[in-house]
Amino acid sequence: MKTQIGIIGAGPAGLLLSHLLARQGIDSIVLENQSRSYVENRVRAGVLEHGTVNLLTKVGLAERLRYKGLPHYGVEIRFNNKSHRIDFNELTNGAGIVIYGQQEIVKDLIKTRVKDGGEVLFEVSDVSICDPTRDTVKLKFRQKGKDHEIACDFIAGCDGFHGISRKCIPEENLSTFNREYPFAWLGVLVDAPPSAKELIYANSPNGFALHSMRSPSITRNYIQCNLNESITNWSDDRIWQALHDRLEIVPDWELIEGAILEKGITPMRSYVCETMRYGQLFLAGDAAHIVPPTGAKGMNLAISDVSYLSAAFTAWYQSKSEELLNNYAKNCLRHVWRGEHFSWYMTSLLHKFPHSSPFQEKLQLAEFEYLCHSNAASRSLAENYVGFRFK
């Protein structure tokens, strides 16, 4: 087999890259170790920045997003029995976000790639990259009991933090930065309508909580928990009590309960691999960087990466120009580090840290008060939340 771009991973990054390349007449093959049904129904967060929505619309992927997505023009922050709304519409000249699940984007992309004759191979195993420093690099894998090999000009590693792509880069060539947080998020998917029109971030004496939604009838709630907590220690009653205690800290507001459809615990990490290119191998999305979910940046940064990568591949095939290929990491990392900083800021602002001193707690409270009384501070948060774009 032969193609121009071999893509590892059929998440939003890999599938969108394949779609963007196809629009420029560039061939690709996407390899995915899970089944199509699995990736289309894998529930993930879905806060789409203003720029992400614009890109999906521009490239013909917004048909369902337009009627299923939930536009938001603000978020609410609760602390010290107060509430402060960050008004995106006012503070960012009409920009906003859209709630649209990652799995919905994946469904849209797979349907489009199949309709356009794109090659997306599911349920492959034993994927390996053969020496990415060669001019022609090979991908090897197994599917349905048979060994296969693809000769590629370039490979895009869009296979997540635990994928094989980054592991192909020798340790001595990697430049990485990492921070692990001393708490985790316990998330629950609930069969209940949202209790508010917009997302609610709450800093309470008992820890952080977030109320969000996936649709007009399904909500997603999160609570801060211990890093090594076991989900078996959290009964439904205990989860609801924690959510009520942490979210109902303002007058005349009640959380709507419902059947808990699923629950799980996610550790919090910040990670950046600045080595986003090694030979003919390019990393994108979670393969290169992870952010705490507090800032809602993960999928948006992945989409930013592949927009740069598709432009770089297009320039090379159209004019043999290597400038964008050589500057790929530099161009991506400006946005990655901005997203990392904002995610760190939101995480630091909203969570209770173990062993934090009264001095640190007072500093946190002072930052909340500043947000409430400074238009500039609120504008900065809004600008980052809807997606800051470098000129």
Catalytically active residues are 72, 201, 293, 297, 385
Of 239, 206, 227, the C-alpha closest to 78 is 206
User: Residues with Cβ < 8 Å from 146, sequence gap 6 or more?
Assistant: none
Within the chain, residue ranges assigned H as helices are: 12-23, 36-40, 50-58, 63-68, 88-91, 102-115, 236-247, 298-319, 323-326, 328-350, 358-373, 375-386
Of 21, 79, 131, 102, the C-alpha closest to 363 is 79
Residues 289-301 as b/e (b if ≥16 CB within 10 A, e otherwise) read bbbbbbbbbbbbb
Cα–Cα dist 108/318, whole Å: 28
Q: Which two tokens stand for residue 129?
A: 């990259």
Of 52, 70, 77, 56, the C-alpha closest to 388 is 52
